[in-house]
Structure 1
Amino acid sequence: MAAEWTKRLAVLAALFLLSSCYIPDKFRAELRLSRYGDFALSYKGDLMWAPILDDYRKGKVDPKDEAERIENIRKDLVRDIAFRKIESRGRGRFSVEYERAGRLGNVQLTALIRRDARMLALRSLENGAIIVAANGLKPSDAQILAELGLTMEGEFRVTTDANVVENNATEVRQFGTNRVYIWKIDNPLSPMPHLVMLRDPDPRRPLPPRASEMKN
């Protein structure tokens, strides 16, 4: 009995952490990042809203309220004008396309999707470093997600000509003067992308090429 209660508390703790969390799935995402801080970020794939997925699992989604709840999730996503497409696939899953570009200031935080619901963050620091980091989970929380049937399959790439001083990419490829850092995400237990680069102060160099222009 005590073991069952402990397990329930662990699930509730994980869901508390995920109470404002979108889960990526079946996705391809790319960040083109110049050594000067210019960036272009794209995401194409699915997003799932974690709390409603758990409610489906528990049979707590009332058919009378289901359409309204899904519409509220869509309204939350549409708040970000970088979404080019948002289509419900039912049961809290949305097929989306997202594109955002800009230039990081000396000290700035920008995120996919938003700061209060971010899956990926780009942070620039006064010392010239730029940190790219996906939100990660503790192994125990990731295991609970896996037990709940929440997958996170996809691929994330960073293409840059910058001086990268730290990364945990699955694979690194050379493409001309650029390097392509590739992360293969298989499940919630996969290492989440992390990369640190040092910015060059000259702001006039163009972005690296798109992944579609490269040979896989």
Structure 2
Amino acid sequence: MFRRLRPLIVLLIATVALTGCYLPARFDAEIELDRRGYYKLIFAGYMIDTRLFMGLKDGKIKRGVSGEGSELEEVKKLETDITRDPNASDFGYIKDGYFKLNWKREGDLLQAKSVTFLRRNEHILGIAYNKETRIVNILGRSLPKEQKDRIVQ
């Protein structure tokens, strides 16, 4: 039964993972991990809200005006979304969907099991501990060629 559902589950997970709207542009990322399992995951840099970027590029979002469907309204939504994460600080919108962000989280990985930057549905960088094998994995995400081409255009 599981073998029949496996391709569907993989497709569903891949679809959810790759439809994220935040993309790192220029950044420094640090991962510290000590022998006792204490970690520190730090991101400092610039990101792009791809939906906002594409909306501005296509003219679906209006620049410099206020109201529904405007860049200012979308930036307010973006700031609310980012700043609801207690690990995020120094949010600053630059232009064209680009924003600055500092994010820092630390704690006990043996207790937390896994940590992801920015969120689980926006998996960009993460670390995970497997209790059975006692191995720590560093996880990252890459973009498929179609998404890369769409961003370049």
Same fold (TM over 0.5): yes
Q: Which residue of 2 aligns with 1:144?
A: 149
Distance in 1 separating the partners of 2:112 and 2:82? 26
Q: Tell me by how many angstroms 1:41 deviates.
A: 1.3
Q: Tell me by how many angstroms 1:107 deviates.
A: 7.0
Question: Does 1:128 find its partner at 2:134?
Answer: yes
Q: Percent identity?
A: 21
Q: Tell me by how many angstroms 1:22 deviates.
A: 1.0
Q: 1:38 to 1:16 in 2, by over 3 A?
A: closer
Please identify which structure carries the higher helix content. Answer: 2
Q: Tell me by how many angstroms 1:88 deviates.
A: 0.8
Give TM-score, length-normalised by structure 2.
0.76
Distance in 1 separating the partners of 2:29 and 2:136? 18
Q: Which residue of 2 aligns with 1:50?
A: 50
Q: Tell me by how many angstroms 1:62 deviates.
A: 2.2
Amino acid corresponding to residue 59 of structure 2 in structure 1? G
Q: Which residue of 2 aligns with 1:26?
A: 26
Q: Tell me by how many angstroms 1:35 deviates.
A: 3.1
**Secondary structure in structure 2 of the residue aligned to 1:105:** helix
**Secondary structure in structure 2 of the residue aligned to 1:96:** strand
Q: Tell me by how many angstroms 1:19 deviates.
A: 3.8
Give TM-score, length-normalised by structure 1.
0.55
Q: Which residue of 2 aligns with 1:180?
A: none
Q: 1:88 to 1:143 in 2, by over 3 A?
A: closer
Distance in 1 separating the partners of 2:129 and 2:142? 19
Q: Which residue of 2 aligns with 1:72?
A: 77
Q: Is the 8 A contact 2:18 2:143 kept in 1?
A: no
Q: Tell me by how many angstroms 1:137 deviates.
A: 2.0
The one of the two structures with greater contact order (alpha-carbon pairs below 8 A, sep at least 6) is 1
- Residues 10-44 of structure 1 show CA distances to partners (whole Å, capped at 9, x for unaligned) of xxxxx986543311112111111123321111111
Q: How many residues align?
A: 133
**Secondary structure in structure 1 of the residue aligned to 2:102:** strand
Tell me which stretches of 4 or more aligned residues in structure 1 moved more than 4 Å: 15-18
**Mind listing any 5+ residue stretches in structure 1 that lack a counterpart?**
1-14, 149-216
Q: Tell me by how many angstroms 1:90 deviates.
A: 2.0
**Secondary structure in structure 2 of the residue aligned to 1:141:** helix
Q: Tell me by how many angstroms 1:142 deviates.
A: 5.1
**Mind listing any 5+ residue stretches in structure 2 that lack a counterpart?**
1-14
- Residues 148-167 of structure 1 show CA distances to partners (whole Å, capped at 9, x for unaligned) of 3xxxxxxxxxxxxxxxxxxx
Distance in 2 separating the partners of 1:120 and 1:59? 31
Q: Is the 8 A contact 1:89 1:95 kept in 2?
A: yes
Q: Is the 8 A contact 2:88 2:101 kept in 1?
A: yes
Q: 1:36 to 1:16 in 2, by over 3 A?
A: closer
Q: Which residue of 1 aligns with 2:108?
A: 103
